[in-house]
Structure 1
């Protein structure tokens, strides 16, 4: 079956059907997006539900209590964001003005920080800096347009918590619902595949979430110590970008560093020191202890998946790249398991 699919795929590609395949993949990802986000929420809340179950509460009541606490925290965070919205807008305008002034200072051939560089190298640095500054609005608009519309964005994030609730209340019924369209002869294998995917994704999401929260706390304390404005905003962005392998930490470090440029080079060095310490703690302590080798994917495969996801769905696609890759890996592993002779099969 796999080779038939591969042959059909090759034929379609040779006939120039790549745009059709891309559109089909985009449609499938958009349709499955609420379910993927629902699983993400459910994986984060599942430990709380189990803890209440161990204390004697019925699972449905435990899920309701955890959900009430979750929505309370989400509401407080949203209220805080709205309260800070004016300050953020004013700060963003000030940031862009100061960033432009900083590039002018960098270009000063006599008193600027790049004055000691050779003219050719200084011109190249300025060219790249000006190009990045000019593309900032374009890149921002492009990522927003990936969402298609505000309505689609609101619909997805409204539907996902309800799906997550039903998963928390009865995960087995959730899986049985997806198995209805599978022929009876394949349902046992399909259920086995779903539970393997569920376990792998749960470990990945929870481990990454713990690392993201701790990393956000570390940089928040560091930014406050060095006196960086909007330390909380940059800390939240750092935690969010942690869900994007490789690319995320670079983006999370670039934003506060860019903001610090107009504040002086001593501030840039201070922010860089905070970022460096945070990355050292993450790579040598947090990730090995909490995440470990959950993905078991080659770094090049992860990077490729992140780039493809970003091209298809923007930032959200980059976040979903690794989970989708884990699903594909489990599907392939189950296919290989079914091809092994009965006497030589490993235990599931």
Structure 2
């Protein structure tokens, strides 16, 4: 490739990246639709192998998905709404406990001035109008519907996701074949190998880890609700979502659950505290011995620190679109860096030619 063609490709890549940046506000529904198509394609392929047409297979997958989402919304949304209201009511009491009991103990241990902590204003603001706690959902709805144009845009994007997802899932194999036919013939094998590794990592993470998160959220929420914790559903689902990073769901969940038990039952309530520890211990054993080996395996290769950094960096750079793209981009970068590392170990710059001595191989 000549220098002029290299510069042309570089300008084209920069121009394409800048165009994507300008189109960021309209990308979320298309990215969500692509995610749905990617996750649902293996299931549609299985239905095709059983004799069902591609269109009917996609239709069946979408119907099952819609029924699942509708069932979850009908069951979980009212319960979550009540628990969010209850959490809002408990915040002033938590702040009062911090000010009266927790912070004085910290001040005694650290020698901090008594006027260092001041929560009166926050507690007063939260507890001044307790009768308004039931209007939280109404307040949220009023903020969402403040602009009719924004509401129409949100509804339009929401309706656009299943439409775009349906067509992408139906034509997924055709699109992949066309992309493969566009590859340079000399580099087709290398690109397909890299794409296969990226697909293996993404498939293991997006399908396996999401299922692990859902399973852990169900286990934690069910267990906490069985021991009588008022915020059990909210804390359990939060712990399940935090399980996207190994051990973070356990740490966040058990910490929040123990605090909630102390405020609900008191510090002397032994059985609820033991129950919380048992619930999260069972969840950890299920994750380590059953869920992760069965659903994920050892194919991810994404370090927990890399997951955290990718999500935060994507959110900082591109907002919600960045969050959607963070993990796929991180997986692709990880695969590319692995091959760059292998090439570097074979290069003269590294100075090692496979014998571990740093000396050039002997001539025959």
Same fold (TM over 0.5): yes
Range 237-246 or range 197-206, more displaced:
237-246
**Structure 2: unaligned runs, 5 residues or longer:** 127-139, 145-149, 348-364
* Structure 1 residues 43 and 129: CA distance shift in structure 2, 3 A: farther
* Shift in alpha-carbon separation, 1:198–1:242, aligned structure 2, 3 A: same
**Alpha carbons 1:305, 1:325 under 8 Å: kept:** yes
Max radius of gyration: which structure? 2
State whether structure 2 residue 301 is matched by structure 1 residue 296: yes
- Cα distance, 1:70 vs structure 2: 1.4
1:240 correspondence with 2:235: no
Q: 1:78 aligns with which of 64, 69, 73?
A: 73
Whether 1:62 aligns to 2:57 is yes
Decide whether aligned partners of structure 1 residues 230 and 47 sit closer, same or farther in structure 2, where only a CA change above 3 A counts: farther
Matches of 2:225 and 2:67, distance apart in 1:
26
Q: Give 1:131-170 correspondences, 5 Å limit.
A: 154-170=155-171
- Where does residue 334 of structure 2 map in the other structure? 329
Q: TM-score, with normalisation over the residues of structure 2?
A: 0.63
Residue 223 (structure 1) shift: 0.7
Alpha carbons of structure 1 residues 241 and 72: separation in structure 2 relative to 1, 3 Å: same
- Unmatched 5+ residue regions in structure 1? 13-21, 342-348
Q: Report the Cα distance in structure 1 between the residues aligned to 2:259 and 2:303, rounded to whole angstroms.
A: 31
Residue 202 of structure 1 corresponds to 203
The answer to whether the aligner puts 1:100 opposite 2:92 as a matched pair is yes
Q: Which shifted more, 289-298 or 28-37? A: 28-37
Residue equivalent to 1:15:
none
Match of 1:41 in 2: 36
Aligned length: 311
Structure 1 range deviating more: 207-216 or 161-170: 161-170
Q: Report if aligned partners of 1:43, 1:205 keep a CA contact under 8 Å in 2.
A: no
TM-score (norm 1): 0.66
Q: Secondary structure at the match of 2:66?
A: helix
Q: Is the 8 A contact 2:257 2:276 kept in 1?
A: yes
Q: CA RMSD in A?
A: 4.9
Distance in 2 between the 1:236 and 1:326 partners? 26
Corresponding position of 2:219:
218
When residues 60 and 198 of structure 1 are mapped into structure 2, their CA distance, relative to the original with a 3 A threshold, is farther
**Corresponding residue number in structure 2 for 1:345:** none
User: Is contact 1:244–1:306 with CA below 8 Å preserved after alignment?
Assistant: no
State the Cα distance separating 1:63 from its structure 2 match: 1.7
Q: 1:294 is paired with a residue of what secondary structure? A: coil
